[in-house]
Structure 1
């Protein structure tokens, strides 16, 4: 009787492992996505990020797609920060010097 129990337990364990690893053909086929998310060539807008979708794989999202989007955002934010600093420096250079008098409030 003990031998039958061990054999049945082994068969159940084997079946569970086969299904979990996908050898039982009960899991869906993983879709093969080669290209990453499509980002426009122009400056990014918030709606571009709201609409982005990554391919889902067994352990989450495809890392190469996520890394590509993060690199693009990093470069664009860095460019915008430099441009804002340039514009602020330009405005500061064209402001008239302060004479120490209070500005009238109309």
Structure 2
């Protein structure tokens, strides 16, 4: 009976070693390449809140595709800066009209 338990332990350790090496069809060694470059929004239209809610990024081995996230954040930062400048300009014009 002892030899049966010892053999069972050896087989179990072998299965764990093979599974850990990825030879049983587990995770691949290479990340999925679904991170093709995409432009989530047309460049000639402003980004809306719904656009931001609906954006999806490609998945890589370590999380989201960083270059896609960086592109979206750069675009949002630029548009927010442009909107802030427009708001400041309109407030200045409104204040100038009120002083007259």
Bucket of the pairwise TM-score, normalised by the shorter protein: 0.7 to 0.9
Query: In proportion to residue count, which structure has more helix?
Result: 2
Equivalent runs, 1:1-106 vs 2, <5 Å: 1=3, 4=7, 7-8=10-11, 10-19=13-22, 23-27=23-27, 30-41=32-43, 42-96=45-99
Q: Give, in angstroms, the shift of residue 75 of structure 1.
A: 0.8
**Cα distance in 1, alignment partners of residues 15 and 70 from structure 2:** 41
Q: Secondary structure at the match of 1:68?
A: helix
**Cα distance in 2, alignment partners of residues 52 and 67 from structure 1:** 13
Do 2:35 and 2:65's aligned partners in 1 also have CA atoms closer than 8 Å? no
TM-score by length of 1: 0.69
CA RMSD after TM alignment: 2.5
Give the length in aligned residue pairs: 94
Q: Which of these two proteins has the greater Rg computed from alpha carbons?
A: 1
Gaps of at least 5 residues in structure 2 are none
Question: Could you say which structure has the greater relative contact order, defined with CA pairs below 8 angstroms and 6 or more residues apart?
Answer: 2
Gaps of at least 5 residues in structure 1 are 98-106
